[in-house]
Amino acid sequence: MVAHRGSSHVNPEHTLGAYLAALDEGAEGLECDVRLTADGHLVCVHDRRVDRTSNGRGLVSTMELAQLDELDFASWKNPWADLDDEAPEVDLGSRRVLTLARLVEAVRDYDRPVDLAIETKHPTRYAGLVERRLVDLLARYGWAGVDSPARVMSFSSVALTRVKKLAPELEVVLLIDSQYSWQLTTSLLAPGWIAGPGIQLLRETPRLGRRLQKRRRRIHVWTVNTPEDLDLCTRLGVEAVITDDPGMALDHLDGPSRVS
């Protein structure tokens, strides 16, 4: 069970608090999106702009880490928290932008093994520099080899090809959405790559899941937030599900049919 941007159902996404909450709920893996700042730091932010998830405005790629560090990345989730006596406290550290290095350290230092699924966002003005900086960072922690708890995901097959050239033993996941036909999917999925279809695509195109299963492709599915969709993943033999609500998903899948 992989927590999508942390336990983002109730916590502000991509904050350290959201990830720690997911681990406390029992998540076996964490998912994050990464973008490169103007001064070369990888930060966990989904959108090109910071407008939706912070109290600032602007493009991540044009801002330095120090500028991002001045923003509040948590208050948007509950803008009335100051008036709510029952709202959970959010520590100052979890309000700041989360660097990938800090998230890697949290995963490394946790008291049990945790997987980390890292999505590189494209298109971006920095193109292949994102993957190069990512592999360099993982290598610093000894996570660029065959036993790495990290895997790299992208909708861009070009980006994943870059990763495999830089770190051939890292696992990669090609994310697949509704624009992909079965023919295009099979042409882009290189040998050994994991298939990463969205749950909506699996619902709307049942043959895709059956074909992936028949061809013994490993399947990781995003973003799975209902018991019905979890059951579909179980029937298809999905290896990993990415969810906003890891507590709910783990409760539902607790039993002999549970997927990881």
Q: Which residues of 29-63 are buried (b: 16+ CB within 10 A; e: fewer)?
A: bbbbbbbbbbeebbbbbbebbbeebbebeeebbeb
Closest to 154 in 3D by CA, of 172, 181, 169: 172
Q: Which of 14, 41, 46, 220 does the annotation list as catalytic? A: 46
Cα separation, 85 vs 96, in Å, equals: 23
- Domain residue spans of the chain: 2-49+99-253
Q: Does the 2-49+99-253 domain belong in CATH 3.20.20.190?
A: yes
- In contact, 222 and 4? CB cutoff 8 Å: yes
pLDDT at 83: 46
The pTM (predicted TM-score) of the whole model is 0.92
The tens-digit pLDDT sequence of the chain (260 residues) is 999 999 999 999 999 999 999 999 999 999 999 999 999 999 999 999 999 999 999 999 999 999 999 999 999 987 655 545 565 565 666 799 999 999 999 999 999 999 999 999 999 999 999 999 999 999 999 999 999 999 999 999 999 999 999 999 999 999 999 767 777 888 889 999 999 999 999 999 888 999 999 999 999 999 999 999 999 999 999 999 999 999 999 999 885 444 54
Of 4, 9, 14, 252, the catalytic one is 4
What is the predicted pLDDT for the residue at 94? 78
Residues facing 33 on adjacent strands: 119
Please give the Cα distance from 175 to 39 (Å, whole number). Answer: 28
Characterize the bridge pairing of strands 29-36 and 194-197.
Answer: unpaired
Residue 4: active-site member: yes
Give how far Cα 21 sits from Cα of 44, 101, 213, 223, Å: 16, 18, 32, 18
